[in-house]
């Protein structure tokens, strides 16, 4: 029997409204989200002794975690840092929080993020601002005009070339996410769409259309990780961090294509369409003692349709190359074999920057608690949440259970 | 100037200087004989420090490609779409580049391409690629 003081659980979650939140800022959203998670758990703020943030595009600071700690009045922390793993910060952060709980170094770790990408950046300027921010290779890749959708377009084009994946199959992911967002009153985009709507939307970078791309949003999210022992005295049913894993490779797409630097026995398993996510997934599934077949709902990081599609293979839901057909026929929709992104995902719920990936975990927690109303997955016992960053090169995976 | 404009560093300066002279070179490891891209201080394959600038054939194969409709901050950007590609060089490395010239927009994965040069400032010339003649 595991010592309940060393078992990490999610004891509270919080999400601010998302969409266009004119007049707010990233610091205020961090505070609002943190307050909601603290109230959700019913914990005394003074018990929090760990804090992880992920920086912010707006109002960033080299020691962003200290700025947020001060705004929350969390004085002495035994774990406190700004995670710089971008979109994959939060399953990664859950693992750091788990380690701190297991090691007895923290009682309660708050993870919080928030940003105002929609209201603070003029329309049409976001991709340029993100490029100038220094994401991705400034010297050898961005000078050729490629931006974030372009990077993922190169990935999608290669997947299509190798496996015959179609635009319609990618669009099925966007359609599933929008269908679920239509059932989520909090989602930013709720009007249902069809595969034809995706194909008819403006081309951004072949083969990706506008509706293959995630939203730009304002919003904030927070989670509170405690020991199982502490959570038993709190308000909500604790959700177990049953299995966590991470695997991170590189920025440069050429290096991803050839797994530069990897020993031959590892390199032969990886290229642009064979990411390192299976390494993270193996860790998470083995720790949880479950298999992909046991997953009741999968909240898959969906910066683009291709981002989610690729994970269907790399997480082991289908064989490599078969995600296109797997995505068809409503399999990924509520009522299907593997409902994904029941909140609507970043494609239709919200993508407020680095915190976008925390929404997948918050939704997984709410599904396990049975709080999801019209979009509730029946008898949800095992939920998967993933975070991905830097053109499907860095991954963290969380298996959550009741 | 956009930050995305190449700014040569200690290690990359020989690459950019050569491009400016229309010479396409990369580092090659004296120990494991493999080519290294992008310019590095240590061979990422075998950890040797003995890297030597070596001219390449300039030939390669398109590994992936995307027509980017509204490219951002491209030092080379003309008004309008840009064909962005990953090219697998005959010597091994895969690099990001543009395909330019006749038929660039229709270039397919697997197509043979050959290096060309596009001067974008007094200091910087970008290595771009054109479709190779049949049989190249």
The predicted pLDDT at position B2 comes to: 47
Per-residue confidence band for B72, with pLDDT thresholds at 50, 70 and 90:
confident
Contact list in A for residue B72 (CB cut-off 8 A) is 127-128, 131, 142, 145, 147
Q: Using the structure block, give the residue that is written with the tokens 């949800």.
A: A380
Contact list in B for residue A208 (CB cut-off 8 A) is 66
pTM: 0.97
Q: Are strands B51-55 and B59-68 parallel, antiparallel or unpaired?
A: unpaired
Taking the C-alpha atoms of residue B53 and residue B44, their distance in angstroms, rounded to an integer, is 15
Per the CB < 8 A criterion, the answer to whether A183 and A339 are in contact is: no
Task: Name the A residues in 284-343 with CB < 8 Å from any B CB.
Answer: none
The answer to whether B68 contacts A139, with C-beta atoms less than 8 Å apart, is no
DSSP state of B98: E
Taking the C-alpha atoms of residue B118 and residue B126, their distance in angstroms, rounded to an integer, is 5
Per the CB < 8 A criterion, the answer to whether A85 and A58 are in contact is: no
Contact list in A for residue B77 (CB cut-off 8 A) is 145
Per the CB < 8 A criterion, the answer to whether A139 and A379 are in contact is: no
Among B69, B75, B109, beta carbon nearest to A205: B69
Contact list in B for residue A155 (CB cut-off 8 A) is 64
The predicted pLDDT at position B5 comes to: 77
Average pLDDT over residues B70-88: 78
Per the CB < 8 A criterion, the answer to whether A364 and A384 are in contact is: yes
Among B73, B89, B93, B127, the strongest candidate for a mutation testing the A interface, having the largest count of A CBs within 10 A, is B73
pLDDT score of A295 more than 80: yes
pLDDT score of B76 more than 70: no
Among B5, B67, B109, beta carbon nearest to A143: B5
pLDDT digits (tens, 9 = 90+) for A164-186: 999 999 999 999 999 999 999 99
Burial class of residue B9 (count of CB atoms within 10 Å of its CB; 0-12, 13-18, 19+): exposed
pLDDT digits (tens, 9 = 90+) for A20-44: 999 999 999 999 999 999 999 999 9
Quote helix, strand, coil % in chain B, to nearest 5. 10, 40, 55
pLDDT over 70 percentage in chain B: 90
Q: Using the structure block, give the residue that is written with the tokens 């560093």.
A: B9
Among B6, B37, B71, beta carbon nearest to A145: B71
Among A138, A139, A157, beta carbon nearest to B66: A157
The predicted pLDDT at position B77 comes to: 52
Per-residue confidence band for A127, with pLDDT thresholds at 50, 70 and 90:
confident
Burial class of residue B40 (count of CB atoms within 10 Å of its CB; 0-12, 13-18, 19+): middle
Average pLDDT over residues A189-210: 98
Per-residue confidence band for B71, with pLDDT thresholds at 50, 70 and 90:
confident
Give kind and range of the element (H or E) at residue A345. helix A345-348
Average pLDDT over residues A201-222: 98
Instruction: Domains for chain B: give ranges and CATH numbers.
Output: 8-55 (no CATH), 57-136 (2.40.50)
The predicted pLDDT at position B1 comes to: 35
The answer to whether A207 contacts B94, with C-beta atoms less than 8 Å apart, is no
Per the CB < 8 A criterion, the answer to whether B95 and A140 are in contact is: yes
Quote helix, strand, coil % in chain A, to nearest 5. 40, 20, 40
Structure tokens at B72: 């951002």
Strand partners, A398: A244, A385
Per-residue confidence band for A123, with pLDDT thresholds at 50, 70 and 90:
confident
pLDDT score of B7 more than 90: no
Taking the C-alpha atoms of residue B76 and residue B127, their distance in angstroms, rounded to an integer, is 11
pLDDT digits (tens, 9 = 90+) for A60-110: 999 999 999 999 999 999 999 999 999 999 999 999 999 999 999 999 999
pLDDT digits (tens, 9 = 90+) for B41-55: 999 999 999 999 999
pLDDT score of B3 more than 60: no
Among A132, A161, A260, beta carbon nearest to B109: A161
The predicted pLDDT at position A354 comes to: 84
The predicted pLDDT at position A130 comes to: 78
The predicted pLDDT at position B75 comes to: 54
**Least-confidence region, from A1-5, A146-150, B32-36:** A1-5
Burial class of residue A374 (count of CB atoms within 10 Å of its CB; 0-12, 13-18, 19+): exposed
Mean pLDDT in chain B?
92
Which residues have a Cβ under 8 Å from the Cβ of A367 and sit 6 or more positions away? A296, A297, A299, A342, A376, A377, A380, A383
pLDDT over 70 percentage in chain A: 99
CA distance to partner chain B, nearest, from residue A198 (Å)? 17
Per the CB < 8 A criterion, the answer to whether A338 and A190 are in contact is: no
SS3 call for A223: strand
pLDDT score of A112 more than 50: yes
Mean pLDDT in chain A?
96
Average pLDDT over residues A341-355: 96
Q: Using the structure block, give the residue that is written with the tokens 């994946």.
A: A165
State the DSSP string of A53-65.
E---SSS--TTHH
The answer to whether B72 contacts A145, with C-beta atoms less than 8 Å apart, is yes
The predicted pLDDT at position B73 comes to: 59
Domain ranges within chain A, ordered by starting residue: 8-120+218-228
The answer to whether A140 contacts B38, with C-beta atoms less than 8 Å apart, is yes
State phi, psi for A244 to the nearest 5 degrees.
-135, 150
Contact list in A for residue B67 (CB cut-off 8 A) is 203, 205-206
Q: Using the structure block, give the residue that is written with the tokens 């190249």.
A: B136
- Angle at the Cα of A348 from the Cα atoms of A39 and A41, rounded to 5 degrees: 10
Q: CB-based contact (8 Å) between B7 and chain A?
A: yes
Q: Which CATH architecture has domain A8-120+218-228?
A: 3-Layer(aba) Sandwich (3.40)
State the DSSP string of A310-335.
HHHHHTTSS-TT-HHHHHSTTTTSTT
Q: CB-based contact (8 Å) between B12 and chain A?
A: yes
Minimal-distance CA residue of chain A relative to B47: A261
| CA distance readout (Å), A391 to A149, A259, A285, A309 | 9, 14, 23, 13
| CA distance readout (Å), B114 to A258, A303, B38, B97, B133 | 20, 33, 19, 11, 9
pLDDT score of A303 more than 50: yes
Among B26, B67, B84, the strongest candidate for a mutation testing the A interface, having the largest count of A CBs within 10 A, is B84
| C-alpha A150: how far from chain center | 20
Per the CB < 8 A criterion, the answer to whether A228 and A1 are in contact is: no
The predicted pLDDT at position A128 comes to: 78
Q: CB-based contact (8 Å) between B119 and chain A?
A: no
pLDDT digits (tens, 9 = 90+) for A254-279: 999 999 999 999 999 999 999 999 99
Strand partners, B27: B36, B53
The predicted pLDDT at position B134 comes to: 78
The predicted pLDDT at position A51 comes to: 98
């Amino acid at each position: 029997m595991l010592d309940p003081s060393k078992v990490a659980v999610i004891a509270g979650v919080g999400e601010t409204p998302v969409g266009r939140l004119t007049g707010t800022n990233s610091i205020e959203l961090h505070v609002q989200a943190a307050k909601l998670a603290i109230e959700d758990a019913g914990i005394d703020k003074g018990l929090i002794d760990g804090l992880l943030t992920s920086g912010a595009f707006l109002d960033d600071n080299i020691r962003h975690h200290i700025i947020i700690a001060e705004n929350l009045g969390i004085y002495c922390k035994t774990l406190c840092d700004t995670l710089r793993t971008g979109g994959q910060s939060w399953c990664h952060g859950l693992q750091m929080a788990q380690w701190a709980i297991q090691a007895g170094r923290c009682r309660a770790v708050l993870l919080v993020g928030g940003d105002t990408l929609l209201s603070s950046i003029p329309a049409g300027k976001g991709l340029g601002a993100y490029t100038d921010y220094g994401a991705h290779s400034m010297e050898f890749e961005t000078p050729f005009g490629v931006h974030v959708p372009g990077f993922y377009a190169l990935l999608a084009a290669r997947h299509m070339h190798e496996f015959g994946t179609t635009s319609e199959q990618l669009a099925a992911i966007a359609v599933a996410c929008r269908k679920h967002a239509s059932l989520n009153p909090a989602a930013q985009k709720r009007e249902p769409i069809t595969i034809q709507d995706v194909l008819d939307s403006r081309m951004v970078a072949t083969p990706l259309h506008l509706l293959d791309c995630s939203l730009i949003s304002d919003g904030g999210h927070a989670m509170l990780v405690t020991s199982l022992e502490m959570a038993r005295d709190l308000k909500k049913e604790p959700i177990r961090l049953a299995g966590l894993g991470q695997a991170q490779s590189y920025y440069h797409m050429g290096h991803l294509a050839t797994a530069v630097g990897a020993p031959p026995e590892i390199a032969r398993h990886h290229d642009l369409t064979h990411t390192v996510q299976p390494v993270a997934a193996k860790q998470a599934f083995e720790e949880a003692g479950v298999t992909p077949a046991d997953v009741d709902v999968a909240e898959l990081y969906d910066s683009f349709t291709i981002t989610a599609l690729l994970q269907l293979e790399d997480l082991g839901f289908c064989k490599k190359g078969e995600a296109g057909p797997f995505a068809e026929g409503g399999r990924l929709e509520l009522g299907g074999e593997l409902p994904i992104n029941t909140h609507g995902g970043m494609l239709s719920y919200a993508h407020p920057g680095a915190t976008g990936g925390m929404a997948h975990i918050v939704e997984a927690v709410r599904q396990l608690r049975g709080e999801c109303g019209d979009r509730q997955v029946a008898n949800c016992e095992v939920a998967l949440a993933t975070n991905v960053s830097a053109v499907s090169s860095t991954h963290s995976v969380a298996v959550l259970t009741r | 100037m956009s930050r995305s404009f190449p700014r040569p560093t200690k290690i990359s300066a020989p690459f950019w200087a050569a491009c400016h002279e229309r010479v396409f070179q990369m580092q090659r490891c004296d120990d494991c004989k493999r080519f290294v891209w992008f310019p590095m201080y240590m061979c990422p394959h075998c950890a040797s420090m003995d890297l030597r600038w070596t001219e390449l054939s300039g030939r390669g194969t398109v590994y992936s490609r995307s027509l980017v409709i509204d490219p951002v901050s491209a030092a080379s950007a003309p008004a309008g779409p840009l064909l962005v590609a990953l090219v697998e060089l005959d010597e091994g490395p895969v690099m990001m580049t543009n395909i330019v010239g006749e038929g660039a927009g229709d270039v397919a994965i697997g197509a043979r391409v050959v290096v060309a040069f596009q001067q974008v400032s007094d200091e910087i010339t970008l290595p771009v690629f054109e479709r190779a003649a049949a049989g190249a």
